[in-house]
Structure 1
Amino acid sequence: MDTEAQHMERDRSSSPTDGPEEGSRFTHVTDSRVTSMSWGRTVFLGMLCTTALLLFSAFVLQPFLIPSGSMEPTLRVGDRVLVNKLAYRFGSEPQRGDVVVFDGTGSFVRETPGGNALGAFVRGAAASLGLVEPAGTDFVKRVVGVGGDRVVCCDQRGRLEVNGAPVDEEYLHPGDRPSGVAFDIVVPPGTLWMMGDHRSRSRDSRDHLGQPGGGMVPVDRVTGRVDWLGWPLGRLGSLEGTDAFAGIRPAGPDHG
């Protein structure tokens, strides 16, 4: 009887100990699974948001970091602008006075063999979100001449002329002339003549006059129109337009 009582006492004393150990292990495993699921869900949501932002940037609205002062005072170094990629998607084309972002490959920059594809992809993705400076082939300039226009600089009063009409370029950097280089060109159909607002510091269509293409940028190389300033907060808002080209008539036969 004493032996049986001792066995029963040992069984009772061991039961409370065994129970918590098993429960503790179960709780630990469950917590690990919950943590793992939470991390997995967070990573998935992060990838989903990044993909959505990249798609939105690729087809609708792209942030663009201004890397130089060639468009001052309209755009300053470090500004982050929003490029409207739908502006020219439905039959519309760039107009004189528009500030646009474009790929200068073949017009402003010579085509070169591709380098590190992965590195280019990562940098391109970061640039498309406005996190780093754009690629060296991306430019932001103002459209001064469209297909068929005759653009001349300068007239007797030192003004730019488009199709024989003088242009009062109020957006130019204070102290700048319309151009320090004289030119008289006719813009071929389907291309654009681009110039920066800070003419003395802008490398634009004028710098490529003697090269193949003559500095003309194909319309299909235009990424989109700069419609808004997104940063800094003190300059937040839509980009101010210009009526400098309002009186310009389309090119006639005698302008070609």
Structure 2
Amino acid sequence: MQLSSCKGRAIIRDSWFDTLWIGGPGILLFLTLRSLFPIDVVPTASMEPTINVGDRVFVNKLHYARGGTPQRGEIVQFDSNFRNGLGDREPVKFIKRVVAIPGDTVAIEAGQLVVNGDAVKEDYVTLATKDYAEIHVPAEHYFVLGDNRDESYDSRFLGVIAEAQIQGRVSHTFSWSTLLTFPSRLHTDVH
């Protein structure tokens, strides 16, 4: 009777060891990938029609960490400097399109985005109804706008975004209506 009890414990111990041996690396890989390439749910309409409410976005945190810099037309995730959650410790992340890079001038005139004195063609955007006076984007800062201009809290209200606030580039969207999409509008040249 005692012999079968010892065998039972050995089988349970071996099963746990096998589970950890097989599952441990998978769990570690999952957690590593989740921190480097998070998938976040978009709670607002500020990026419609490109990214809809409830869509999930895949954020590539390595894209800029390897020395790249945000370019006009790219959609980025950044720390808004707002906090929420328990003790206001959780950063509130925003997703917006980079429309002006360091050294650019940017304005909105009659609903039209103007960068460096040239009107920008943006077929993916809901035009703004309010003008925005021209500003100069300083070094290591970016001017970001939502594609749904009248429903977006962006650089017109937050000011320019420091490069250090940018957490990654949005490279894919997932939604319930389509399993995986690679919209060309995610990375559109803005000149």
**Structure with the greater alpha carbon radius of gyration:** 1
What letter corresponds to residue 146 of structure 2 in structure 1?
Answer: G
SS at match of 1:82: strand
Give the aligned partner of residue 152 of structure 1.
107
Partners in 2 of 1:231 and 1:46 — Cα distance?
29
SS at match of 1:83: strand
Q: Which 5+ residue runs of structure 1 have no aligned equivalent?
A: 1-23, 121-134, 209-214, 249-256
Verify the 8 A CA contact 1:80 1:232 in the aligned structure 2. Answer: no
Counterpart selection for 1:74 from 41, 44, 50: 50
Higher-strand-fraction structure: 2
Verify the 8 A CA contact 1:228 1:236 in the aligned structure 2. Answer: yes
Partners in 1 of 2:16 and 2:28 — Cα distance?
18
User: Deviation at 1:166?
Assistant: 0.3
Verify the 8 A CA contact 1:97 1:244 in the aligned structure 2. Answer: yes
Superposition pairs of residues 1-256 of structure 1, within 5 angstroms: 24-42=1-19, 45-59=22-36, 61-105=37-81, 109=82, 115=87, 135-155=90-110, 158-173=111-126, 177-208=127-158, 215-232=159-176, 234-241=178-185, 243=188, 245=190, 248=191
What letter corresponds to residue 77 of structure 1 in structure 2?
Answer: V
SS at match of 1:88: helix
Partners in 2 of 1:47 and 1:244 — Cα distance?
43
User: Deviation at 1:139?
Assistant: 0.9
What letter corresponds to residue 189 of structure 1 in structure 2?
Answer: A
User: Deviation at 1:192?
Assistant: 0.6
Partners in 2 of 1:138 and 1:162 — Cα distance?
25
SS at match of 1:137: strand
Q: Which 5+ residue runs of structure 2 have no aligned equivalent?
A: none
SS at match of 1:142: strand
SS at match of 1:101: strand
Tell me: CA distance 1:36–1:88, structure 2 relative to 1, closer, same or farther (3 Å). same
RMSD between aligned residues: 2.6
Poorly superposed stretches of 4+, deviation over 6 Å = none
SS at match of 2:102: coil
Higher-helix-fraction structure: 1
What letter corresponds to residue 99 of structure 1 in structure 2?
Answer: I
User: Deviation at 1:98?
Assistant: 0.3
What letter corresponds to residue 232 of structure 1 in structure 2?
Answer: W
1:36-63, Cα deviation, whole Å (9 max, x unpaired): 432354356555433322222333x222
User: TM (normalized to structure 2)?
Assistant: 0.84
User: Deviation at 1:237?
Assistant: 2.7
